[in-house]
Homo-oligomer: A and B are copies of this chain.
Amino acid sequence: MRSTPRPRRSNTRQQIQEVARDFFMERGYEKTSLREIADELGVTKAALYYHFRTKEDILVSLFSDVGIALDELIFWGRQQHRSLAVKRELLARSSVIFSGAAPLFNVLNANQATLSDLSVGQDFKDRVTALSELLQEPDASVAAKVRCVTALLSLLYGTFAIEHIEGDAEEKRLALLAGATELLTSAYPTDDSDPRASTLDAPSATAPKAEPTAS
């Protein structure tokens, strides 16, 4: 999951990140105070400032890996010529990234308002926008565009929602992907293949570096 093997400075830095991630998930970014993080670790607030320049920095540091993964995917997508197959592949790879870092995306999602004027929040929105543009044909019908956008969104938001359904995680992920792919496919005017079956064979769900541990 981590692309650049980060230097193992002290482990305090890592601990801060872990506690911060947990707290941001539980109570949200805004409502997590540095004091709480410090207390949980048994250190002083000032200690946090030794490792991170600001509170936002802690947040940002959590997203570097996932940000890179998304950027790589977008870069890849722009390289390809626009075909249904490529778009399906984009969806498949997005699914892997999303579910590999579900907690993190959840933080972003649940704190949209708070994070919107922090770079990390805007960056994320931009990436999703970029992705959804890769899925749309510029001159498609409104209905088609709506379907494309919905495909991506259902993948993203579905990832959090399906955690409440009991069942095998990977099975759920694939079901979600299948639905999203149908939505995408149905945006294409004439299409020989049976939309309901097609998606399940979207194979290359393993994006270049993204190795999702099927948690």
Residues of A within 8 A of B (CB): 24, 27-31, 107, 109-114, 116-117, 129, 142-143, 145-147, 149-150, 153-154, 156-158, 161-162, 164-165, 167-168, 171-172, 174-176, 178-180, 182-183, 186, 195-196
Contact residues in B for A171 (Cβ distance below 8 Å): 142-143
Asked whether A31 lies within 8 Å of B165 as measured between CB atoms, the reply is no
Asked whether B162 lies within 8 Å of A28 as measured between CB atoms, the reply is no
- Distance A172 CA – B146 CA, assembled complex (angstroms): 7
Chain B proximity of A147: nearest CB distance (Å): 5
Chain B proximity of A121: nearest CB distance (Å): 10
Asked whether B176 lies within 8 Å of A146 as measured between CB atoms, the reply is yes
Asked whether B146 lies within 8 Å of A150 as measured between CB atoms, the reply is no
Asked whether B165 lies within 8 Å of A154 as measured between CB atoms, the reply is no
Asked whether A150 lies within 8 Å of B176 as measured between CB atoms, the reply is yes
Asked whether B112 lies within 8 Å of A179 as measured between CB atoms, the reply is no
Known: A28-B116, A111-B113. A157 touches B153 (CB 8 A): yes
Asked whether B113 lies within 8 Å of A29 as measured between CB atoms, the reply is yes
Partner of A114, one of B30, B156, B168: B30
Known: A175-B143, A178-B143. A113 touches B28 (CB 8 A): yes
Chain B proximity of A13: nearest CB distance (Å): 17
Given contact pairs A107-B113, A143-B175, A146-B175, a sample of 18 additional A-B residue pairs in the complex whose CB atoms are under 8 Å apart: A24-B113, A28-B114, A30-B30, A110-B116, A114-B114, A142-B167, A142-B171, A142-B175, A146-B172, A146-B179, A149-B158, A150-B176, A150-B180, A154-B157, A182-B183, A182-B186, A186-B196, A195-B196
Asked whether B142 lies within 8 Å of A31 as measured between CB atoms, the reply is no
Contact residues in B for A164 (Cβ distance below 8 Å): 129
What residue of chain B has the Cβ atom nearest to residue A153's Cβ? B157
- Distance A211 CA – B156 CA, assembled complex (angstroms): 31
Contact residues in B for A175 (Cβ distance below 8 Å): 142-143, 146-147
- Distance A150 CA – B51 CA, assembled complex (angstroms): 40
